[in-house]
Amino acid sequence: MSNIMTGIKRLVLDVLKLHNPSVIELANVIGKLDGVDGVNISLYEVDQKTENVKITVEGDRLDFDRIKHTIEDSGASVHSIDEVASGKRLVEEAETLQERT
């Protein structure tokens, strides 16, 4: 049974993937999932066989299990969940005094 998290509006995932499928193909597959309004994939590191990417997914009813399964079906693995946003609206992270100096 799928774990639909109706309050989750944004997920930011650290993912290790093979060169194939491309980030374009992976973004298209994730973007077609129910509840997903948008996907952004940023490339951070490349080596001979793999790419380290940050995947940001937004929507009104994200299903983390389905998103993770889709990523894993592409031959990639989720290293960590780096950000989660939930609630009635998205709240952007605020800069703290320590970060300003």
Q: What is the mean pLDDT of the chain?
A: 90
Sign of the dihedral defined by the CA atoms of residues 63, 66, 69, 70, in that order:
negative
pTM score of the predicted model: 0.85
Strand order in the sheet with 77-86: 38-46, 50-58, 8-18, 77-86
Chain-centre distance for alpha carbon 44: 14
pLDDT single digits (tens) 27-72: 999 999 999 999 999 999 999 999 999 999 999 889 999 999 999 9
Phi/psi at 59 (nearest 5 deg)?
A: 175, 175
User: What are the structural domains of the chain?
Assistant: 8-91 (3.30.70.1340)
